Structure 1
Amino acid sequence: MDIRQQKQYENFLEPRRQEISNFLWISKHWDPKIAFKQGSRRPTPASHKEAVLQSPRIQELLNELSRQQNIPKSQLEKQIRTILDEIGYDRKMKVVRWLGLALTKICMKVLSGLYINTAKVQEIKSVMGNCPVIFVPSHRSYGDFILMAYLTFTYDVEIPAVAAGMDFHGMWGMGTVLRDTGAFFMRRSYNDDSLYWTTFKEYVFQLVTKADVPIEFFLEGTRSRSNKSLPPKFGLLSMILKALFLSQVPDILFVPISINYDRILEENLFTYELLGVPKPKETTSGFFKSLKIIKEHFGDIFIHVDEAISAKKYFEGKIQRTSHNVGPIHQQDMTEEEKNLIPQFANEIVHRQQKNNVLTVFNLIALVINNNYANERVSFTLDELTKQVMWMKQILETLGCFIHTTNLEKSIKDSFIIHSNLIRLDSKNKVCLISNEVTQEKISPLKLKGHALSDKTMTYSVPFIMLQIYVNPSLHYFVDVAILAIILNKGSSLIKDELFQTYYFLRSLFAKEFIIFTSLMGMEFETAVNNGINFGVIECTDSGCHYQLGSNNKLTEFLLNALEPFQLSYFITFSVLQGASLLTDEKTILANVQQVVENAISINKEFIHPYCLNLDTLTNCLSTLCSMNIMKKSRRDNKNMYSGNSEKLREICERFEIYIPNCHMRKTTVLNLTLQNKL
């Protein structure tokens, strides 16, 4: 049986290929299923804005500000209306239909398939109508927003109101188009503007309690440049859940959605951003330039819709909603107990997104090529690649991963076509990474996020960074086993409690890198131990009392190689921080770490993965140190500043150092000390 049928995936682009006229389809009578039935008369985008203005919370704020600032209330109301016009979504079906037609034409040209687990979509539809429905997709591309609208239109579900950043609002023409298709806009920074902040929160509250359309937002807050799950943001999620905690809705259904790309539209842009090149401003002209993608091929896209999570059931027994029965609702806020439960709920959604990832064969190819380069084996044939991909496929499927392929050899050949910008076969049928010479435009050092890397370094690093983007989605499947391999690779034998304590330390250190729910760490450890034993990476001695490295050297080597770039990045960051001044700005720290790595790469005596240059990992490291109270982050002169506890930094560096491969450890430490002396 076709594996897509086993997983009930349907290519919902295929009917568009077969029909006589896409225009007839996009012009169809559309009677969508609404999320939350509000009565006989449907609310409108305009009625939502008016309801916000007339709400008790906003009226009280206007009265208070009018007294404090001696400004007529009518003048403040005009400001509120201006804010609501900036925020509020709209819905114009003519715009939706014309965009849908254009998207259909583009998708049929650049994609092989657009797959979704249709049965689950129909199941979600069947339970809609009685409470708010929140779609929570993973965020790997700007395409996520467009695909969700296309999906809901195709399956006759009301197109959601989508939280979008102000970057899009400022795009001439495009901001209006996005608003007309359901986008509502939020500023990333409020600058203590209580009028805006209160208005926005009230607008979200109004959408949750009084709208009949679904709401869509990205829990990660921004696109993941690394193609891994990012730590969730809690702001918008808290605003949505507040309506449930205050008993203003009977329930809220959250629908986790995983969107996976065979080839990411922004792969080139993300690669340069990870290396520190500033993101270009979103502009309409830039959007039209990006349409050149229609000349390329992007393979398949998979959208996996998960079971809806009932927030009422999730929080049942954990909170006391009766605590909000005293006093007017608009003066109520969430309790500290309720606020403390929100991160757990957010992690549950991220966990669901990760669990339902769909990997393509190119993700396996990227893993294999990455591992070969880490072993300094840069020459291997297509037959060798195919055997290693088959081996990797068996391992990942054992770990619960779903890999989209019906014919492995054909999928490998297709990958060379889809990713012809990154990999190719030479005249001897050997697999090669494609490296194009990079000549950078002059960018002001003030705009760079880190060190000004040389053209030589950029030319060498870009293909490796891009390749790693396709390695990353698979890492969460075996990160826990890999950490056990790192611990036991020292050659020592540990009792289970000792192994867990070290696992807990390293797993916590990488918590921003590979998202984990802290309360599940014990269970994840047990699963990792069992998997490690089954794979032969770990073995028990003395009647199961002690654990040591197993005999599966091939898999152990692969696991160690997979996490080595992250280990080195963190270790070099620790070393740089120890030599930094008492108070250092973020850009200086990032630039110094990148310079150390660039120097290490330039020596070229042994392979150091250029992914150590990526700024996402370095900022994750800083964030982790802050959460562990080893560093403190502050804001000064529009810069992120860090101060550290030198004693704690030294301790964590010494504790972490023993798990760094010796050859790299010596090299990076010497280079780091040399750099510090120069500075």
Structure 2
Amino acid sequence: MSGHAPKAYVIITPIMNFQVHHWSERVSHAYEEMKTWLASLVTHYHAAWVRYLRSKAPYLPHSLPQRRSKVVESILSDIHFQETLETFVSSSGLSILEVEKKARSYLMEISSDLSYFSFPLWNKILAWVFKQFYEDIEVNKGGLESIKQLAGKKPIVFVPNHRSHMDYLLVSYLLYNERLPMPYICAGINLSFWPMGTIFRKSGAFFIRRSFEGNNLYKKSLEAYLHYLLKKQSFIEFFIEGSRSRTGKLIPAKKGIVSLLLQNYLEGGLEDVILMPMSIVYQSVIEEKSYLDEQQGAAKSQEKFSDLFKLRKLFQRKYGKVYVRFDEPLSIKDFIASRPTADVDVLANAITYGINRSTVVTPTSLVSQALLTHPRKILLKKEIEEHVRESLEYLRYKGSPLSNCLQNQWNKTIDETLSNLTHSRQLLHYRDEEGTFYVVPQKQTTALDYNKNTSIHFFVSLSALASILLQSRSHNNSIDFPTVEEHYQFIKDIFCREFIFSLRHSLRDHLTNILEYLKQRHWITIDGDRILLKEEGLNPLQSFQRILQSYYEAYYAVWRVLRHLQGKTTERVETERYLLNRVHLQFLRDVIQHPESINKNLVQNALAAFIHLGLVQSEHRGIGRQKKTYYHFSFDTPSYDSIGHRLLSLIPALSSPKN
């Protein structure tokens, strides 16, 4: 048998080879057919899905967004960006491949990966979340119509205020349900943590570093990415404040993105860029507790994956209503044409003014204001109603946007608001034969102060002017207009980081407009340049004056501590902690009266004001993450005393310093 074995192999092997080869050809052919069929199926599915999306959103861009990697390669291959990279080659000593590798890394870190295919499901999830969180979302339809008219014709950049992480989701949700394109959302790199970073990228987020000082290649990469989006006439969304406001009012603008947008228009061959200021006001924010902790001095916690497991707690209550309002579109082309120079500061001020102007005044804000500005700690309900009534009169004179419930049956709305605040334990109430009394627990003042601050910008000028006019009581109730202007300018200087003052009108015209209102109410008379305070104007002016009292007191308390730091140099974090502690001690000693003055943000802004006024000097040491700020306290006694005296004159309750 062993002799026949080789012959058997010679005969069988070709047959087996033929069968395997034939079977392999059939499998290969079937595989190719399967690939073709699957590709065709995907193509048809993709086309059908695009048709569905376009039926839902007729303002979709002509071509749907490319994948992130393709966008990056498109930017890298752009001839202008290649020229930019060449300049870095000559200045850095690196090869073009090394510079290009760095730029690719930055662009991948920055770029969004927006996909419309997940949005129908994502929209259903968001609809459920918003229904669980909020009673209603009020939107001004006129603003949406103006957006629809501009969509697809020019790039539109939405610039909302920043109150909550919900802002990112809310704007996209509203635009999608109005059949408008999704915006590319500028978000902080801290939100790129897994898995939310991937989800946010798919939803339109692109991520930027908080600081890229000294990294020009990163800056140029970001600029190129913005240019790519603008050329595609995309919707873009960014938060001009740079971070969420912990106080309820607008933070002074961070001008980095504004500068890049302006530069892109001037140098990028764009026909126009439309800026759309908009406001988002929450009756209550989901981050309320963490905000209050931070204002009392706690460090901001870094966003991380484990935070997702805490979300369940957020669904245990409702957060009231949300009010969204779009201001008038602001054309960069028209802005440039109306001015001799392209001033970034003026453009940023115009945007922030538009945000503030469009902010809806809520009943919670006005009730909180009434509770915190009353001289007594216990108020009758009718006293709250009187303050709200006077506030509404002034807001109507200004043409400020009011929530629907304040426009109709505001008395009933105030009752509901007081009930809600009592239910949430931000307010205590008692009843006797005189009526219902309300008391604010001291630990709740910061929460109410947040509510008050959402509309405080409408009252800053009136409150400041009331403070000045009431000083005339020691001068026969009479004051001249130049003196009013001088005092008002001091308040603007001291609050340079606290509030955003409009640059649209001259100071004289601005004050004249408010004085005209006071005259109409018969609170003052005007004789030439002389302003006379009338007796019937005393109580309402005192009520409005007290709106800024907690701010004056905080700045005064910080001013008192500066003398103990004369000649010293201290690091920023250490200084702020020390000052906040000393402000708290002054409250405990009755040097100041408002607990809401014990606020980290107020301490920071007071320091910035005293730098502006020359009492403190600051310097930066190091770069990037190693960068630290140091304060040097050096001032002459007359300047120091003058500022303190003027601050004290604005606080009637503190007639003399308490040492």
Q: Is the structural similarity TM-score above 0.5?
A: yes
1:661 maps to 2:648: no
Q: Distance in 2 between matches of 1:295 and 1:549?
A: 51
TM-score, normalized by length of structure 2? 0.83
Q: 2:579 aligned with 1:598, yes or no?
A: no
Residue pair 2:556, 2:644 contacting (<8 A) in 1 also? no
Q: How is 1:86-485 mapped onto 2 (pairs within 5 angstroms)?
A: 86-169=109-192, 171-208=193-230, 210-246=231-267, 248-319=269-340, 337-338=341-342, 341-372=343-374, 375-378=375-378, 380-382=379-381, 384-404=383-403, 405=405, 406-416=408-418, 418-419=420-421, 420-424=423-427, 426=429, 428=431, 430-432=436-438, 435=441, 460=442, 462-485=443-466
Distance change (3 Å), C-alpha of 1:659 and 1:426: closer
8 Å contact from structure 2 (residues 493, 613) kept in 1: no
* Correspondences of 1:467-546 after superposition (within 5 Å): 467-490=448-471, 491=473, 492=475, 493-518=478-503, 520=505, 521-540=507-526, 543-546=527-530
- 1:651 shift after superposition: 5.3
Amino acid at match of 2:209: R
Task: Give the drift of 1:478.
Answer: 2.2
Q: Secondary structure at the match of 1:348?
A: helix
- Structure 1 residue 600, shift from structure 2 partner: 2.8
Name the counterpart of 1:572: 557
Q: Deviations over 1:555-611 (max 9, x none)?
A: 12212221111111112222322331432333343334323332233235x871112
Q: After superposition, give the CA deviation of every residue in 1:142-201 in whole Å (9 maximum; x if it has no partner).
A: 1111110001100111101111001101x2200110011000100012252233222122
1:586 aligns with 2:572: yes
1:62-91 CA distance string (max 9 Å, x none): 445556665443343232222211100011
Amino acid at match of 1:597: V
Structure 1 residues 518 and 643: alpha-carbon distance in aligned structure 2, compared to 1, 3 A threshold: farther
Counterpart of 1:376 in 2: which secondary structure? coil
Matches of 1:654 and 1:301 in 2, distance apart?
41
- Aligned AA for 2:431? K
- For the 8 Å contact 1:423–1:433, the answer to whether it is kept is no
For residues 348-383 of structure 1, the C-alpha deviation after alignment (integer angstroms, 9 at most, x for no partner) is 1111211121112111210111123xx1232x3445
Which residue pairs with 1:444 in the alignment? Answer: none
Once superposed, which parts of structure 1, at least 4 consecutive aligned residues long, lie more than 6 Å away?
39-42
- Unpaired runs of 5+ residues, structure 2, are 1-51
Tell me which residue corresponds to 1:613.
598
Paired AA for residue 575 in structure 1? R
Output the amino acid matched with 2:339: K
Q: Pick the structure with greater CA Rg.
A: 2
Going from structure 1 to structure 2, the CA distance change for 1:61 and 1:122 (only over 3 Å counts) comes to: closer
SS at match of 2:632: strand
Q: Which amino acid aligns with 1:523?
A: D
How many residues end up aligned between the 2 structures? 590
Write the letter of the residue equivalent to 1:292.
K
SS in structure 2 at match of 1:643: strand
Deviations 1:74-124 (A, max 9, x none): 343232222211100011234333332121112222322111111321222
Question: In structure 1, what is the Cα distance between the partners aligned to 2:189 and 2:350?
Answer: 28
Quick check: 1:577–1:589 contact (8 Å CA) kept in 2? no
Return the alpha-carbon distance in structure 2 between the equivalents of residues 388 and 502 of structure 1. Answer: 26
Unaligned segments of structure 1, at least 5 residues = 1-26, 320-336, 436-459, 671-679
Preserved contact between residue 160 and residue 213 of structure 1 (Cα < 8 Å) = yes
Partner of residue 14, structure 2 = none
Alpha-carbon contact 1:161-1:183 (below 8 Å) kept: yes
Q: For 2:69 and 2:508, how far apart are their aligned partners in 1?
A: 50
Corresponding residue number in structure 1 for 2:617: 632
Partner of 1:13: none
Counterpart of 1:263 in 2: which secondary structure? coil
1:387 and 1:486 mapped to 2: Cα distance? 20
**Cα offset for 1:231?**
1.2
- Against the structure 1 CA distance between its residues 163 and 614, is the aligned structure 2 distance closer, same or farther, given a 3 Å change threshold? same
* Matched AA of 2:225: Y
Cα 1:91–1:185 change in 2 (3 A) is same
CA distance in 2, matches of 1:256, 1:289: 32
Amino acid at match of 2:147: I
| Offset of residue 315 of structure 1 | 1.4
Instruction: Summarize deviations over 1:268-302 as a string: whole Å, max 9, x none.
Output: 22111112111121123213413422221122111
Supply the AA of the counterpart residue of 2:267: L
Q: Distance in 2 between matches of 1:42 and 1:102?
A: 22
Give the secondary structure class of the aligned counterpart of 2:454. helix
8 Å contact 1:131–1:251 — kept in the other structure?
A: yes
Alignment partners' CA distance in 1, 2:463 and 2:617? 30
Cα shift at 1:235:
0.8
How much does 1:618 deviate?
2.0
Residue type of the alignment partner of 1:398: Y
Question: Is this contact kept in 1: 2:553–2:594, CA < 8 A?
Answer: no
Deviating more after overlay: 41-50 vs 557-566 = 41-50
With over 3 angstroms needed to count, the CA separation of the structure-2 counterparts of 1:192 and 1:646, relative to structure 1, is: same
Distance change in 2, residues 1:224/1:522 (3 Å)? farther
Q: Deviations over 1:600-643 (max 9, x none)?
A: 33235x87111211121222222233344553321237432122
Partners of 2:75 and 2:224 within 8 A in 1: yes
Secondary structure, counterpart of 2:281 in structure 1: strand
TM-score, normalised by the number of residues in structure 1: 0.80
What's the offset of the Cα at 1:485? 2.0
